[in-house]
Structure 1
Amino acid sequence: MPEYLAPGVYVEETSFRPKSIEGVSTSTTAFVGPTRKGPLSGTPEVMTSFGEFTRMYGGLSNLSFASGTDAAPEMTNYLAHAVRSFFENGGARVYIARTFQPRIDAAGTVTSSGLAQSAQFVTTAGGFTAQFRSREPGSGYNGEIRVSERLSPANVATMAAAPDGSLLRIGGEVIARSATLRGSTGPTFFLTHNDQLTLTATGVDVTIQFQGTSAVVTGSALAEPVTVPDDTTLVVTVDSMEQTINLPAGDQSIAALVDAINRSIRYGRAWIENGDQISLGTDRHGTSAALAVQANDLLGFAGGVSSNGGGNVADLEHVTIAEIQALLDGARPNTLRVTMPPSTGQLTFATVATGTAATLQAQDTPGRTALGLPSAVATGEDGANPSYFLKTNGSWALVGGVNIPAPDTSQPLTTTAHLVSVNLETEDGDGNLMAYENLGFATTHPRYIGAILPQRPSRKADALQNLYWLQTSGTNEPFALFNGLLGGGTENTIPVAGGNDGGTPVSSSMTAGAVSYERGLELLEIIEDISIIAAPGSSGFDPNDTADILYRDVQNRLISHAERMKYRIAVLDTKPGLTVGEVREARGLIDSTYAAVYYPWITIANPLARPGNDLIPKEINIPPSGAMSGIYARTDVQRGVWKAPANEVVRDALRFEVDVNKRQQDVLNPEGINCLRYLSGRGYRVWGARTATSDLEWLYVSVRRYFIYLERSIDVSTQWAVFEPNGPDLWANIRETVSNFLYAEWLTGALLGASREEAFFVRCDRSTMTQQDLDLGRLICEIGVAVVKPAEFVIFRIGQKTADARG
């Protein structure tokens, strides 16, 4: 109560109207699953466009859950495609909880953390080392870091103003340079098996050999003639591309069968082995080559066989500079560097040593020809032998180059001098760029590169944007770091490689560094505005999961999460390629009013497909939960949450994996399996709106979601009532507040009834509360609503009548 103590006029604000209830959003979605990159810990990030998603979590490129497929990933990136489909179908906001399972051996020991890293570009006798590492694991971090020298004129004023840790170069207008050979333009290079490259660096031969063998399988011995029944096929998968080859019927020679295979197979070949066996091999040579033949007793491939290529590079036709550098380091460390400077785009070999004493020559080998290297001897340049000084506690101390006295900062310099720093640009595996300017080399510099790119930034925004960090060990040596970053020149490219997507995702894990589906869902619990939850692809990641353990466990965790959080619905996928009987069996294992099941998967045009490259399929199948979550959001915005998200077009569909007809849906729909169907003249549509429950009170998705909307809206907007005096004034205020909200809902068409009395009721008085309730601090308000339900069966009864009929 206000106090009135002194005489005067008192003006006070008051309210004569009840509180208001604002409807909450029902279209905010959350997806959980693996991506190419992105944060694994902390609060999941909300994405408002697909472009924003690709910058933070990576693009659509395939994932690899085994080391044998890292060079040519085969697993469709279901979550990324689901996010794209979500936005194309009308979604506006989606949170991403990324999962990751480190690769482990049979004993459970981690064999790969999945982190990307560069080679150590600094290794000194004093024990100082430096390399770049990705902040999180993932194949999306395999990229490169481009470094360029930045010079600022040095004079009395700039030297005085320069902060501690600044590097000063005096003299050296002509810089000492490495011996350099430039070859073909990249980004990759074509070689053949056992091609040798010998580079003579200052009198020392550095020899490497490029090795890559194809994947080969050989069948058992055959007896001629081979009798081939009609419609016999051979199914082979070459480098993740499945092909079905029709074989000629009748009595065939082995040679005729080989010819038939060679006429049809793509990116592979067949030949006769030992006169009576058929062998198949890939055109690709290298560790990324893969070949699998499905069981075919007729051709000697009983039980099916598979094979992988070998060698020391992933693909001899596309050798990368990172692979070349790894081979050079293996042959003779700290002798040669291979880069591809942005200014030339050419493959460049350079000696670590500089000056005219450094020489480099490519010997006459097949590798020299393949890489386009000249035969002439390259010689380094001595330059003008600059001197380098580091500012420490306000004074300049010599750290490298020619030994001359420290400059007198009170007198003008008589020799050209520059303050030296670097500009750095990072590019990840999806082509996303980040630039950093004027970076220093000493830990005391205000823009020390290790402080700008630390392992654990103090700001979350920096942790999300800065993908890499500088890992150092030993005592900082600024001059060595300067030389290592630039590789003895004025610009350098440092490859970052070795990042991978881990192992097959798991529902729960005790492995260090793992983020399972269980953990991902836990991270989503702290975000209150999520209304839709899904795990796109969890039903298709493990083809060897014949018992459906991962699929069922993730599905159950999604349902438990939605029921526990109370204001969410789980959008569930079926497994790919299921028959009607199989999908009924899968649906029979769950029963929840907080879940909806959709079938079948959606066939879309593959955004990664390129003309002339048949290794990349033109079409792919993706789980429907991404598109359905977008359709939920679209329907909420365009009509309202009370409108069933059905009879809506699936915007990105070319077709559906299974063509469900009416008779099949007559079986599926009563069991709560929502079908996606092609309807002639109306396109590809969602043709089901039921929850996965046996409770007829909550039969429809729109009813469940509308009650979620009502309950959360009332929950959020009546928090003011807590600890208010529990009496008639409060009860009347709540009655009017809720009644006004429901009246507005009735006017929008969300509630049935010719009058508000028929549409809803609100009771909050002594009839809803006993004295014991009041004594225990309880206020009980009873609300009943006549919610609109979808017209699932539209029935027109038509009959004949006579001309004089009266009714």
Structure 2
Amino acid sequence: MPEYLAPAVFVEETSFRAKSIEGVGTSTCAFVGMTARGPVSLEPSDPTPPLLTSFADYERYYGGVDDLTIAGNPARNYLALAAQAFFNNGGGRLYVARILGAAAAAGAGIVLNSGSPAAAKKLTLSARTAAGAKIAGSDANFRVTIVESALPTTKKLALKQPAGTLVLVGTDVFVVGTTDVIAATDDACSILSYSVLVEDPTGPVYEAGGLGAHSKHPRFLNAVLGAKPASASDALTNPIILDVGTGASAAEVRAALINTATNGVRVVLLTGGSDGTGGPSSADYETALDSLLALEDVSIVAAPGASSFAAPLPAAVNQSLIGHAEARRAYRIAVLDTPPGLEVTADPSVKSLKSLIDSKYAALYYPWITIANPLAATDPSQPSLIDVPPSGAVCGIYARNDVQRGVWKAPANETVTGALALQRDVRFGEQEVLNPLGINCIRALSGRGIRVWGARTISSDPEWKYVNIRRYFLYLEASIDRGTQWAVFEPNGEALWANVRTTVSDFLYNEWVSGALLGTSPKEAFFVRCDRTTMTQNDLDNGRLICLVGVAAIKPAEFVIFRIGQKTADARG
């Protein structure tokens, strides 16, 4: 209450309504795995992985679907194919945590100066991170084109350029905003600037223009293209590093840039990059998953392609995904893949795989999906059809289901966009074996296409049997958690308890109205208790407010049964 010390009329604002809870998003996904290129965000100082809202975004940051090169051999780029399937199946928001293969290399840098300059005067061009794909017709991972532009002008206009701008008079170079004096007796000079174009096997991937060769320039080469760019966008999208030695003068920087250039254009090929001598380790997956914990909007996690590596990595990654989803206040579910080529019961079998895992925060899908190979159109040596893990498409279906119906509806009986066939057809009798174990089958149904035909978690706890129940409770928990932070440190008494009850009840009432809860009335659909019956004096003395919430969640109609019998023509009823 404010103090009233002098007689007057006081007008105050007050609130007559309870706080509101806004439902959190449930369709943002995160993938972990190897990509063709892109940032590896593993340290706190690294840029946060960018939010991708289309496959074009994915290509801009992480490259296309071209095969990786592991130990000198082509390896399918499963994460890129999964990202494509995610967006094709209705996904709208995706994060990617990139992992490098064992002994992955960016390749040695190239010194742009001629001769043997001192270390402090070197200009070194190198790849920012490992990338193994080669540009057609070469051994280069990246082609970097450096262009010097000379704009004719007058001395008067040249002096108005930003500090650090290079001005060319004859063969002499001067720098605006320094002690240099532009001695253009005939008033004729040229303003110098630089642009850089970077290409990988898919074509142009990064371009920067208006660059300067002096440290005072607002777009100094080292500030834009260096190891720690000032712009987070440059750090995420630029696959190369141009390091300018601190001892190099502007004239020396220019000489290094245009060394071997023709008509102001210089092309540099960066070679020696490798995706690795083997797959990543389980520790790499653990570290990458930890980097995603700060992204609070993520609600689905998967590791497409991890199941394609040799044992025991797939089992270890499954456990890492489960542990990540089970982390306190993570509010996530893990979508797991089976390894390729598994049979139902004959070892190695999907049934034996399931016997090793049990969690109410994960769902397992079988078998792999057959799609059209996007590389076959340009490479005749590629097969026209390829098999891919189902997690990418399934995560997209989760997102599509959430947007079109709601997180409370089971993400099943949904078509798999892009699927042409299955690596193995699952028959009805085989699903009778797999479904009770919590293995969700993807089946080709006559006249109905290829559909996700299962909605169970891998939990042995019957209370958490269904994916939609698990995800809906995660949604409720996260929404209530984030929507009631205002209550922390408020006086723990009747007024606060009533406010909390009203806040949560209003939120659940909206859920019931939207069809997410079972019951013909709010009393049947949910209850909220926050009073002396839920807290003891010991709780109050220790600063605890305890609110008990119960909801009647809707379970899916997994088995639809029609009982049909005979009747006579004159029978009534």
Q: Same fold (TM over 0.5)?
A: yes
- Secondary structure at the aligned position of 1:539 is classed as helix
Aligned twin of 1:120: 111
Q: Give the match for residue 15 of structure 1.
A: 15
Aligned to 2:352: 585
SS at match of 1:9: coil
CA distance in 1, matches of 2:36, 2:286: 19
Structure 2 partner of 1:749: 515
Residue 433 (structure 1) shift: 3.9
1:131 is matched with 124
Query: One-letter code of the match for 2:350?
Result: V
CA distance in 2, matches of 1:722, 1:444: 49
Q: For 2:476, what is the secondary structure of its paired residue?
A: helix
**Equivalent runs, 1:112-191 vs 2, <5 Å:** 114-116=105-107, 119-127=110-118, 128-139=121-132, 142-161=141-160, 167-171=166-170
Give the aligned residue type for 1:449.
L
Q: Counterpart of 2:422? A: 656
Aligned length: 554
1:518 to 262, 282, 286: 286
Write the distance in 2 (CA, Å) between the matches of 1:19 and 1:747.
Answer: 19
Judged with a 3 Å threshold, the aligned counterparts in structure 2 of structure 1 residues 169 and 15 are, in CA distance, closer, same or farther, namely closer
Give, in whole Å, the separation in 1 of the partners of 2:407 and 2:398: 8
Match of 1:389 among 136, 160, 173: 173
Q: Look up the match of 1:348.
A: none
Q: Which runs of 4+ in 1 moved over 6 A?
A: none
CA contact (8 A) 2:61 2:236 kept: yes
Q: Does 1:505 align with 2:289?
A: no
Q: Deviations over 1:209-242 (max 9, x none)?
A: xxxxxxxxxxxxxxxxxxxxxxxxxxxxxxxxxx
Q: How far, CA to CA, are the matches of 1:781 and 1:164 in structure 2? A: 62
Instruction: Identify if the C-alpha distance between structure 1 residues 459 and 168 changes in structure 2 by more than 3 Å, giving closer, same or farther.
Output: closer
Aligned to 2:136: none
* Counterpart Cα distance in 1 of 2:501 and 2:125: 63
Asked whether the 8 Å contact 1:591–1:692 carries over to 2, the reply is yes
User: What residue number does 1:554 align with?
Assistant: 317
Query: Residue in 2 aligned with 1:607?
Result: 374
**Bigger share in strand:** 1
1:715-744 per-residue CA deviation (whole Å, 9 max, x = no partner) reads: 111111111121122212222221222122
1:448–1:755 Cα change, 3 Å:
closer
Instruction: Give the aligned partner of residue 194 of structure 1.
Output: none
Matched, 1:573 2:347: no
Aligned counterpart, 2:224: 452
Equivalent residue runs for 1:32-431 within 5 Å:
32-41=32-41, 42=46, 43-66=48-71, 68-69=72-73, 74-103=74-103, 114-116=105-107, 119-127=110-118, 128-139=121-132, 142-161=141-160, 167-171=166-170, 387-391=171-175, 394=178, 396=180, 408-409=183-184, 411-413=185-187, 417-431=189-203
Amino acid at match of 1:750: A
Secondary structure of 1:423's aligned partner: strand
Tell me how far apart the structure 1 counterparts of residues 434 and 162 of structure 2 sit (CA, whole Å): 73
Task: For structure 1, list consecutive stretches of 5 or more residues without a partner in the other structure.
Answer: 104-112, 172-386, 398-406, 510-515
Indicate the SS of the match to 2:304: coil
Unaligned runs of 5+ in 2: 134-139
**In 2 relative to 1, CA 408–528 (structure 1 residues): closer, same or farther, beyond 3 Å?**
closer
Which of 29-38 and 439-448 deviates more? 439-448
Task: Provide the rounded CA distance (Å) in 2 between the counterparts of 1:455 and 1:753.
Answer: 59
Equivalent residue, structure 2, for 1:208: none
Which residue matches 1:485?
A: 257
Cα deviation for residue 591 of structure 1 reads 0.7
Alignment partners' CA distance in 1, 2:324 and 2:399: 20
2:403 is the alignment partner of 1:633: no
Tell me how far 1:454 sits from its aligned partner. Answer: 1.3
- Other structure's SS at 2:151 match: strand
Rg bigger for which structure?
Answer: 1
For residue 151 of structure 2, what is the amino acid of its counterpart?
S
SS in 2 for 1:432: strand
2:370 match: secondary structure = strand
Q: Aligned partners of 2:484, 2:33: CA distance in 1, in Å?
A: 35
Contact 1:123–1:130 (CA under 8 A) maintained in structure 2: no
Contact 2:141–2:272 (Cα < 8 Å) also in 1: yes
- Distance 1:442-1:779 versus aligned 2 partners, 3 A rule: closer
How far apart are the structure 2 equivalents of 1:437 and 1:447? 9
Deviation, structure 1 residue 95: 1.1
Deviation of residue 126 (structure 1)? 4.3
Distance 1:528-1:394 versus aligned 2 partners, 3 A rule? closer
In structure 1, C-alpha distance between the alignment counterparts of 2:261 and 2:563, rounded to whole Å: 87
Paired residue secondary structure (1:740): helix
Contact 2:168 2:174 in 1 (8 A): no
Which residue of structure 2 lines up, in the alignment, with residue 330 of structure 1? none
Partner of 1:778: 544
- SS of residue matched to 1:580: coil
Report if aligned partners of 2:175, 2:250 keep a CA contact under 8 Å in 1.
no
Shift of 1:578: 0.4
Residues 709, 122 of structure 1: alpha-carbon distance in 2 compared, 3 angstrom cutoff: same
Letter in 2 for 1:557: S
Seen in structure 2, the aligned counterparts of structure 1 residues 756 and 123 have a Cα distance that, compared at 3 Å, is same
Q: Secondary structure at the match of 1:122?
A: coil
- Contact 1:167–1:388 (CA under 8 A) maintained in structure 2: no
1-structure distance, mates of 2:458, 2:53: 29
CA contact (8 A) 1:117 1:132 kept: no
Q: 1:467 to 1:728 in 2, by over 3 A?
A: same
1:100–1:501: 8 Å Cα contact kept in structure 2? yes
Give the Cα separation in 2 of the matches to 1:169 and 1:738: 70
Whole-angstrom distance in 1 between the partners of 2:61 and 2:180: 42
Deviation at 1:390, TM superposition (A): 3.6
Q: Give the secondary-structure state (helix, strand or coil) at the position aligned to 1:47.
A: coil
Distance 2:58 2:518 in 1: 41
Query: What RMSD over aligned residues (CA atoms) do the two structures have, in Å?
Result: 2.3
Q: Does 1:529 align with 2:301?
A: no
Aligned-pair identity (%): 51
**Change in CA separation of 1:28 and 1:389 when aligned onto 2, cut-off 3 Å:** closer
CA contact (8 A) 1:102 1:114 kept: no
- What SS does the corresponding residue of 1:684 show, helix, strand or coil? strand
Q: Hey, what does 1:707 align to over in structure 2?
A: 473
1:471 corresponds in structure 2 to 243
* Alpha-carbon distance, 1:625 to partner: 0.6
CA offsets 1:494-540 (integer angstroms, 9 cap, x no match)? 1222222224333444xxxxxx1010010011111211110011000
Counterparts of 1:167 and 1:524 in 2: how far apart (Å)?
Answer: 43
Provide the C-alpha distance between the structure 2 equivalents of 1:434 and 1:87, rounded to a whole number of angstroms.
23
Change (3 A) 1:54 1:10: same
Distance in 2 of aligned mates of 1:465 and 1:755: 53
Counterpart CA distance in 2 for 1:444 and 1:641 is 53
Tell me how far apart the structure 2 counterparts of residues 55 and 701 of structure 1 sit (CA, whole Å).
Answer: 33
Q: 1:262 maps to which residue?
A: none
1:418–1:392: structure 2 CA closer, same or farther, 3 Å change rule?
closer
Q: Whole-Å Cα distance in 2 between the matches of residues 444 and 728 of structure 1?
A: 63
The one-letter code sitting in structure 1 at the alignment partner of 2:106 is L
Q: Name the aligned partner's letter for residue 113 of structure 2.
A: V
Return closer, same or farther for 1:125/1:34 CA change in 2, 3 Å cut-off: closer
Partners of 1:519 and 1:126 lie apart in 2 by 40
